[in-house]
Structure 1
Amino acid sequence: MTVLRIVPNLAVTSISATREFYIDLFGLEVVMDHGWIATLASEQSALVQLSLATEGGSGTPVPDVSIEVDDVDDIYQRAQSTGYDIVYELTDEPWGVRRFYVRDPDGKLLNVLTHVR
């Protein structure tokens, strides 16, 4: 048996508002929309992963979703300029990631990160 993918399902109050947040900030594209559920994706492939945590590291809460990007500084600047709710400032963590936390329109806590190479 092989797990092919794991998809987080986020409960939202407004698909359109939350969809626009993820499109604007992360450049995701709508690949399915049935009105009651919309799926956003990028063309990139990733390993199947599931993280289990008691904290988010550095004393932060466990985020709802972690999103790895190729340029966290660019996404951080876009989040700031758009006025999104940044709840943990851009930080270089001792375990080798550069990250920040932002809330989506429904209050989901996102850990946006880049691995420091």
Structure 2
Amino acid sequence: MGIRRIVPNLPARDPQALAAFYCQIFGIETVMDGGFIVTLAGSTQTTQLNLAAEGGAGTDIPAISVEVDDLDEAHARALLIGADIVYGPVEEIWGVRRFYLRDPEGNLINILTHSGA
């Protein structure tokens, strides 16, 4: 058996509004809008699943982690739309730069890039 994808499902009172938030920060697109559910996608798909006792550096466990190629750009986009930045940006000792934000529904999101990337 091969896994084709693992997709987090975040709760949203207004899926289209939450989709707009993520599209503005990450430059991804809506690929399906079923009214009650909106699916967003970027240009690549990988399969990973994190299982964690904490978020690292004493932080809470985020609902999702999003790896980007330009953390400064993602941070600037988040600030531009008034996102609630709750941690960082910071260089962690395990080799990532990251920041946390809360999306409009209150979900904790870890945005990261690998150091030197």
TM range (shorter): over 0.9
Match of 1:4 in 2: 4
Match of 1:42 in 2: 42
Structure 1 residue ranges (4+ consecutive) displaced by more than 2 angstroms after TM superposition: none
When the two chains are superposed, the root-mean-square deviation of aligned CA atoms in Å is 0.9
Q: Distance in 1 between matches of 2:16 and 2:87?
A: 26
Q: Distance in 2 between matches of 1:32 and 1:17?
A: 14
- TM-score after normalising by structure 2: 0.95
* Structure 1 unaligned regions, length at least 5: none
- Per-residue Cα deviation, 1:48-99 (whole angstroms, up to 9, x for no partner): 1100001000000000000000001111112122211000020000000000
Q: Identity of aligned pairs, percent?
A: 53
* Structure 2 unaligned regions, length at least 5: none
- TM-score after normalising by structure 1: 0.95
Is the contact made by 2:5 and 2:45 (CA closer than 8 Å) also made in structure 1? no
Q: Distance in 1 between matches of 2:23 and 2:63?
A: 18
Amino acid at match of 1:103: R
What number of residue pairs does the alignment pair up?
A: 116
1:82 lines up with 2:81 in the alignment? yes
1:71 lines up with 2:73 in the alignment? no
